[in-house]
Amino acid sequence: MLTLVLSLALSAAAPEAAEAAAPTTTTAKPAKPKKICRSDADTGSRLKTRTCKTQEQWDNQQRDVGNDVRIGTGAIGR
């Protein structure tokens, strides 16, 4: 009789436990952007420095340098 009661109690609890475990989902981490490394030779030094940035950072730096040149030459504002 005791085994019958225990088996009924376990079978009644089992579907609830299975339903509670099912909705859990894992979230994937976003992929890190690939870094691009470049070696730069500084004037007056024999040593090269290595700079690693993402493609977006390299593009932003190139754009900023171009803006500085245009501002310095007076090309902007004409």
- Two structure tokens written together for 42: 């500084």
- Whole-structure pTM value: 0.47
Cα gap 53→35, rounded to integer Å: 5
Cα gap 6→24, rounded to integer Å: 29
For Cα atoms 30, 34, 52, give the angle at the middle one, nearest 5 degrees.
130
pLDDT bin (cut points 50, 70, 90) of residue 5 is: confident
pLDDT in tens, 33-77: 999 999 988 888 889 999 999 999 999 999 988 887 777 777 665
With beta carbons less than 8 A apart as the criterion, state whether 39 and 48 touch. yes
Sole residue written with tokens 């730069």: 40
Sole residue written with tokens 């079978």: 11
Strands 48-54 and 35-41: antiparallel
pLDDT bin (cut points 50, 70, 90) of residue 22 is: low
